[in-house]
Structure 1
Amino acid sequence: MNHFSFFSLKTYTLIFLCVMLAACQKPEPVSFQEPARIEAFSSQTMDLTDLCQKIGKNMSEIDAQRTTFALEQINQDLKLCLPLLDFQQQKHLLSLSNKMYSDFLAVDRTPQQQRAFESYALEMAQHPTIQQSLFEQLTLRDQYLIKHQGQSYVELFDAGEGEVHYRRSPEYLAKIFAPYLPVAEQAFIEHLAAQNQYPAVIDHQVKIDAKEIADRALYWESYLRQYPQSSYHQDARHLLNLYSTLLFIGPNTQAVYDGYTVQSSYLEEIERLAELKNSVVTDHARLFLKFIELSPEQRTAQIILPASTHPQRLGAEQLLQTQLAHFIQLRMVQPDQGKDCLSDAICLNR
């Protein structure tokens, strides 16, 4: 019994001393790895700075020999860099992106290869054997791009009149650039991207209905009021004039008013607009309804055209359109005039 007591006392004494010794030791600092973490963060920041400094050069090196994977890598890098840049730097990269895609999508073809490409792309040959034969006649670059269309915002676009070509999808700028731009430029790109997802005009024929045309004209007029300082102000005005021309005049081959009758769907929409207020587009509508009530003799007497229009040289249809535009105070813009604002999320120089 005494032996057991001595053993227990010795054991408890040892345990007590160990506990006290442990309590006297200083705890390890919890932030002992903090310098390494800061160093890693600093390294990442330096890597990102280096990446963003080189991105312009990397974009300029994209050409018709590169793959969609190379494009995708640049686009991912843009998402990292754009939030760190000021607006002028962002616009510079946007301009570089236009050239980057233009260079990437450029294909040098012989006349025979061009015909094979158009036939294949427009699906003129329905038989699989013929399609395969056409595919084999394509350049290797066309074969690659056709197989990879839909990747990295690359797609085929039917421009009408048998013309088909590759284009950068309008969604590209809306997804890659717009989220990081000032609100005015963001709104411009996102709305134009949505409007140009499908072509509005093909072969000089309007492919959207009168109400959609009117809605687009009203939108661009509203945009000009809401964002008077937008860097896209002139392009928005061009779009306003373009859609107003399509609504009240029509394209050269599809007149809204022929001097006798107005296309019924357009007349209905114009009459609806004429009931609205506080809008240049609705002012056009009210004047349009007055114009169609005039006889040819009244138009000639009441509408004095500027000498710069050379009215004596105009044919009957052109004269009517010019008189109408002058009477309703509309600056006519046809789809093939000025910048191309109908195929991307920004207006492009032709």
Structure 2
Amino acid sequence: MPKTSLALMMTSALLVLSACQPPSDHPTPSQSKQTEEPSSTQSLKDAKNPRQLTTALVDMSEKKLKDQLVCSKLTATINAVGNKSEIKNIHDIQHQLKACLPTADNAQILQWLADYQAMYRRFLGSHSDWNDEAFYDVMSTIEQGKTITVPQLRLVNPRILYLISLVRSKADVSVIYLGEGIYAFHHDLQAMADLFTPYLPKDQAVFIQRMAKDNQDIFWNDAAIAISYYPLIKRAVFWEEYIKQYPDSYFIKDAERLFNRYRFSLFFGSENTQWTDDAFHNFLEPEYSLLLRQLLKRQNSRLAENARVFLEFMRMSDRERQQQYPMPKTENNENENGNKNNRDESKTPYYQLKEALAIPSPWDSYDNKDCLSSITCIDQDINQKAPKETEKE
């Protein structure tokens, strides 16, 4: 605060308080007691005389300057946390964020959010950092709820021992199974979202809260979809509604990514998850048909239109499909996407359904965005091996 403004505030406050007090040449003992200087925590509302008010104003100004200094260095403080830091460092940053977030603008808050997520990834390390048999043995024991033995602990490195101690003390670190025998350390996404949500506009708050809910557990497991059909439908419906309700959201492109990914998974499944037979003629479970038909009732909905086309495709004979969606022929016996195709019955229906639905496949082009592990979509290292997320082909 400028010195002139602070002086004017003090002068005005002194004049008001002086006018309200009776004149006295010699203060009584009780009045003398009231003129004692307040403690360093004296607040404006507790000030009872001009001297206490002056002290409170000075204290408030000093605290504000201190907070501004802390906030100006917060990005550097967050970025300094790495795979040798302790949980205390994160707790200190959380306290600083609580002091700085209320006065920050939206751009700064979003930057701190991105930095905070990256901080946790560095702190916990990647599963590729712990690629040894001893680590997998300990992680498997933890996941199964069994007691880790001393011989097991002697085989792992000190950093793993430290993270394991956080897991056992429930210090916002847990173990998550990623599939294919791979384990990793994880943290509480809901706590992260709750830290930032009060200071974000509604569209951004809704986005990160939903991401925290959906991404606390894995979506892919050994090229299979790790959730059942009904939750998958609910996710697709949520993101379609989000796009309608917040078309100008900061996260609108990521919402479209999520909608397309869940929508594609809903109709095509994955390499190890199928909702229908290979020919797309029959559902594997009767409830799948009932749930999909409920989508037809949605108004102004891409999901409803996709469901209508999908159900109509299932009723078509193979001959009708071939007439309406013929497989293209090339000299190299490839389809128009350039993918090798042996023209067997299991692949022809898949290609034809893609033509019928015209839903963009998440796998047709590389997208350097991971939307399934944190509370926002984060950039992946382009050299990092992508998770096994393949189509049924």
Query: 2 CA distance for matches of 1:166 and 1:262?
Result: 37
String of CA shifts for 1:61-101, please: whole Å, max 9, x gaps.
11122110111110111121122111111122122112212
Aligned to 2:261: 242
The one-letter code of the counterpart of 2:160 is D
Matches within 5 A, 1:215-294: 215-257=234-276, 258-259=278-279, 260-264=281-285, 265-294=287-316
Q: 2:225 aligns with which of 206, 210, 224?
A: 206
Query: 1 CA distance for matches of 2:24 and 2:337?
Result: 100
Contact between 1:59 and 1:96, CA under 8 Å: does it hold in 2?
yes
Query: 1 CA distance for matches of 2:116 and 2:319?
Result: 54
Aligned to 2:156: 138
Q: 2:349 aligns with which of 320, 324, 332?
A: 320
Query: 2 CA distance for matches of 1:272 and 1:184?
Result: 27
1:114 maps onto 2:144 in alignment: no
| CA apart distance, 1:31 | 2.3
Aligned to 1:333: 362
1:300 maps onto 2:322 in alignment: yes
Q: Name the one with the larger helix percent.
A: 1
Query: 2 CA distance for matches of 1:110 and 1:190?
Result: 29
| CA apart distance, 1:172 | 3.9
Query: 2 CA distance for matches of 1:79 and 1:101?
Result: 17
String of CA shifts for 1:44-73, please: whole Å, max 9, x gaps.
101100110011111111112211011111
Alpha-carbon RMSD? 3.0
Structure 1: gaps spanning 5 or more residues: 1-21
Calculate the TM-score normalised by the size of structure 2: 0.75
Contact between 2:166 and 2:172, CA under 8 Å: does it hold in 1?
no
Secondary structure of residue in 1 paired with 2:178: strand
Secondary structure of residue in 2 paired with 1:39: helix
String of CA shifts for 1:242-289, please: whole Å, max 9, x gaps.
111221110122222321422223222112222333211111111111
Query: 2 CA distance for matches of 1:226 and 1:129?
Result: 48
Query: 2 CA distance for matches of 1:215 and 1:108?
Result: 30
Contact between 2:142 and 2:148, CA under 8 Å: does it hold in 1?
no
Matches within 5 A, 1:15-94: 25=25, 30-94=49-113
Secondary structure of residue in 2 paired with 1:344: coil
Query: 2 CA distance for matches of 1:70 and 1:115?
Result: 30
1:193 maps onto 2:218 in alignment: no
Q: How many residues were matched structurally?
A: 328
Query: 2 CA distance for matches of 1:108 and 1:91?
Result: 26
| CA apart distance, 1:184 | 1.0
| CA apart distance, 1:213 | 0.9
Query: 2 CA distance for matches of 1:249 and 1:183?
Result: 33
Contact between 1:119 and 1:125, CA under 8 Å: does it hold in 2?
no
Contact between 1:59 and 1:97, CA under 8 Å: does it hold in 2?
yes
String of CA shifts for 1:106-149, please: whole Å, max 9, x gaps.
279998x7211111112289797874322221111101101113
Query: 2 CA distance for matches of 1:107 and 1:247?
Result: 29
Query: 2 CA distance for matches of 1:231 and 1:314?
Result: 44
| CA apart distance, 1:337 | 6.9
Structure 2: gaps spanning 5 or more residues: 1-21, 36-48, 329-334, 381-393
Query: 2 CA distance for matches of 1:126 and 1:222?
Result: 38
| CA apart distance, 1:161 | 0.8
Residues 139/315 of structure 1: CA separation in 2 closer, same or farther (3 Å cut): farther
Query: 1 CA distance for matches of 2:324 and 2:23?
Result: 105
Query: 2 CA distance for matches of 1:125 and 1:286?
Result: 42
Please tell me whether Structure 1 or Structure 2 has the larger radius of gyration of its CA atoms. 1
| Seq. identity, % | 25
| CA apart distance, 1:315 | 5.4
